[in-house]
DNA sequence: CCATTCATGTGAATAGCTTCACAAGTAAAT
DNA sequence: ATTTACTTGTGAAGCTATTCACATGAATGG
């Protein structure tokens, strides 16, 4: 029976991968949990705990082998392979995402684009011809798409997601600010930028230095 | 002494605000924690707990007054006012963010843009003239900027953040995939889209239905 | 070869967050 | 006025995540 890995632990694995990539470029042979922790502002114990749920990768007294651990984490995260990704809604944010090279580097290949705007359908974005949203179910299946990115207005997102789910896609990354309903076997993540700005304003209002006098 | 509010609780406040806005548009007078919970896939108890750290806003037997609670949460989150925001790096993602109307609606006004590309400096984006990055410190101070969005390549992000911090800005939203160092009194949030895709691939690899047979 | 230093891996302890469960308050119907 | 149906607000319980602390093992230097 596999142990359930927490969401935060998964996210930290991404950080470790990123840090290890940098250490590798600087020709480090090994790196300790202490060094990794400093780099990503975490605690050494947490890094060791996180890694220990997947095996023993380090050497006592020495640390972790950079290259090897990086590959191991890539395999754990599933970024040692290629993922077939489609994106729906080639507007402001959609276009930015299609141009983002980092995705490709981590194995996420955007190979299909969908929109409902006649001016966009048939046009070429980074070598991909934009398909008509009408054909989405058929084309997702044909291209064997595994992950779909949603970057359409919130009002139409649920309808599109229903189609995407019906086409058998099991993983969705949503940029529309709306709580989408998907079946239990579909993994949904939301990217909500307003939320992060609101986090900042909350802290500015409630915890910034000037307010301290009120707390006495 | 103020009680420390958890990050997840702050994020949920944003969800409540969004849900209440919808309920308000549908002319609901009141809404129960149960209804809110269903809307955002949370538990009623959690919503009541979250709200209770800021006061008693509901009426037993009836629920919460939609309009009033929405305003109250807006005030708690600090989105009942206007924030002066600057954005650095008018590339793919930067341009998308400048065009994003949702930010404005929640009080985040992007009023300054910076870049180091001569072709972009002086050009007009949504009514804002792009400034030379060289003058960032002076112009941030002059315009009394409170929040800065970083959308430059990771390699130059730390340098820019150092300037931003020196100019007295206390809140930063970073899109570059790098761990930026800021003093303790500066609030930093990172928006990392690769991380979310990696979360999806992790779950596809580790928990999707097809793998279940391996777990027996 | 032995002492010293370093750093992992992991149970145990602690801290933090979520859910439970219920007393208490409100509204509406009769 | 009383009953019924509802829903809040909140201590307490339960659960999850993080940190502590140390036994264990590896490398280095004299
Ligand atoms: N622009 C941003 O920086 C930003 C940031 C965060 C979130 N978002 C969210 O991302 C989504 C898109 O934002 P945007 O700024 O890119 O908007 P946009 O209007 O520029 O793009 C939306 C695209 O979706 C297409 N579209 C509309 N209805 C469709 C349908 N039924 N089927 C297929 N395509 C359809 C449009 O033709 C357009 O190309 C929105 O939900 C927005 O809230 C945007
Ligand atoms: N494109 C995306 O969808 C996306 C998604 C997530 C994160 N990001 C991150 O956002 C950042 C920007 O990505 P992008 O795709 O928009 O890249 P981009 O190259 O299109 O844009 C970068 C912009 O920054 C400007 N710039 C470069 N150096 C600068 C400096 N020293 N001072 C001021 N401006 C400078 C460039 O002129 C350019 O306009 C990167 O860190 C990237 O990893 C991008």
**Which of B89, B95, B98, B100 most suits a substitution to test ligand 1, by most atoms within 8 Å of the C-beta?**
B100
CA-nearest residue for atom 20, ligand 1, is: A91
Strand locations in A32-90, DSSP E? Answer: 64-65, 83-88
pLDDT of residue A40: 96
Could you tell me the domains of chain B?
7-77 (1.10.10.10), 83-196 (3.40.50.720)
Indicate yes or no: CB of A202 within 8 angstroms of CB of B7: no
Mean pLDDT of all residues belonging to chain B: 94
State whether the beta carbon of A176 lies less than 6 angstroms from ligand 1. yes
State whether the beta carbon of A110 lies less than 6 angstroms from ligand 2. no
pLDDT of residue B215: 39
Six token digits for residue A206: 């409630």
CA A59 to C1' C1, in angstroms, rounded, equals 23
CA distance, residue B25 to nearest chain A CA (Å)? 14
Q: Is A62 near strand D, with its CB below 7 A from some atom of it?
A: yes
Q: How far apart are CA B117 and CA B142, in angstroms?
A: 22
**Which of B86, B88, B93 most suits a substitution to test ligand 2, by most atoms within 8 Å of the C-beta?**
B93
- Kindly state whether B3 is in contact with chain A, defined as any CB-CB distance less than 8 angstroms: no
Backbone angles phi, psi at B38, to 5 degrees: -60, -40
Among the listed residues B143, B136, B160, B78, the one whose alpha carbon sits nearest the alpha carbon of residue A194? B78
Q: Name the closest residue on chain B to residue A22, using Cα atoms.
A: B178
Indicate yes or no: CB of B18 within 8 angstroms of CB of A203: no
- Kindly state whether B13 is in contact with chain A, defined as any CB-CB distance less than 8 angstroms: yes
- Kindly state whether B103 is in contact with chain A, defined as any CB-CB distance less than 8 angstroms: yes
Task: Give the 3-state secondary structure of residue A86.
Answer: strand
Note the pLDDT tens digit of each residue in B113-154: 999 999 999 999 999 999 999 999 999 999 999 999 999 999
State whether the beta carbon of A88 lies less than 6 angstroms from ligand 1. yes
Q: Cβ(A92)–Cβ(A152) under 8 Å?
A: no
| Beta-carbon count within 10 A of B14 CB | 22
Q: Cβ(B177)–Cβ(B192) under 8 Å?
A: yes
Q: Name the closest residue on chain A to residue B104, using Cα atoms.
A: A194
| Beta-carbon count within 10 A of B100 CB | 17
Q: Over its length of 216 residues, how does chain A's per-residue pLDDT go in tens digits?
A: 567 899 999 999 999 999 999 999 999 999 999 999 999 999 999 999 999 999 999 999 999 999 999 999 999 999 999 999 999 999 999 999 999 999 999 999 999 999 999 999 999 999 999 999 999 999 999 999 999 999 999 999 999 999 999 999 999 999 999 999 999 999 999 999 999 999 999 999 998 766 444 443
* Percent of chain A clearing pLDDT 70 (strictly above): 95
Note the pLDDT tens digit of each residue in A76-95: 999 999 999 999 999 999 99
**Ligand 1, atom nearest to A95 Cα:** 16
pLDDT of residue A209: 64
Angstrom distances, CA of residue B23 to CA of A26, B19, B46, B64, B104: 53, 6, 19, 11, 21
State whether the beta carbon of B115 lies less than 6 angstroms from ligand 2. yes
Q: Which ligand is nearest to the CA of B102?
A: 1
pLDDT of residue A215: 40
CA-nearest residue for atom 27, ligand 2, is: B152
Question: Taking chain B (216 residues) in consecutive chunks of 10 residues, what is each chunk's mean pLDDT?
Answer: 86 98 95 96 97 95 96 97 98 97 95 98 96 98 98 98 98 97 96 97 86 43
The DSSP result for B144-199, as a single string, is: T--EEEE-S-HHHHHHHHHHHHHTT--EEEE-SSS-----TTSEEEE--HHHHHHH
**For chain D, which bases have at least one atom within 7 A of a protein Cβ?**
5-11, 16-21, 24-27
| Beta-carbon count within 10 A of B37 CB | 17
Q: How far apart are CA A102 and CA A90, in angstroms?
A: 18
State whether the beta carbon of A117 lies less than 6 angstroms from ligand 1. yes
Residue nearest to nucleotide C19 (CA to C1'): B45
pLDDT of residue B209: 64
Find which nucleotide's C1' atom is closest to B62's CA: D7
pLDDT of residue A78: 97
pLDDT of residue A210: 61
Q: Ligand 1 centroid to A171 CA: how many Å?
A: 19
Q: Cβ(A79)–Cβ(A17) under 8 Å?
A: yes
Six token digits for residue A107: 């194995």
């Amino acid at each position: 029976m596999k142990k359930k890995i927490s969401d935060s632990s998964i996210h930290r694995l991404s950080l470790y991968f990123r840090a290890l990539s940098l250490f590798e470029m600087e020709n480090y042979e090994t790196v300790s949990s202490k060094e990794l922790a400093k780099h990503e502002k975490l605690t050494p114990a947490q890094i060791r705990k996180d890694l220990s749920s997947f095996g023993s990768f380090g050497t006592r007294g020495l640390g972790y082998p950079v290259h090897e651990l990086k590959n191991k984490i890539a395999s754990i995260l599933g970024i040692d392979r290629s993922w077939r990704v489609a994106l729906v809604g080639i507007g402001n944010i959609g276009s930015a995402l299609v141009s983002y090279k980092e995705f490709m580097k981590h194995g996420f290949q955007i190979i299909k684009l969908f929109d409902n705007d006649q001016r966009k359908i048939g046009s070429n974005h980074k070598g991909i011809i934009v398909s008509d949203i009408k054909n989405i179910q058929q084309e997702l299946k044909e291209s064997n798409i595994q992950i779909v990115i949603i970057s359409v207005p919130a009002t139409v997102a649920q309808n599109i997601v229903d189609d995407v789910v019906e086409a058998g896609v099991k993983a969705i990354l949503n940029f529309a600010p709306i709580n989408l309903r998907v079946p239990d076997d579909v993994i949904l993540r939301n990217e909500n930028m307003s939320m992060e700005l609101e986090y900042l304003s909350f802290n500015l209002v409630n915890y910034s230095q000037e307010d301290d006098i009120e707390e006495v």
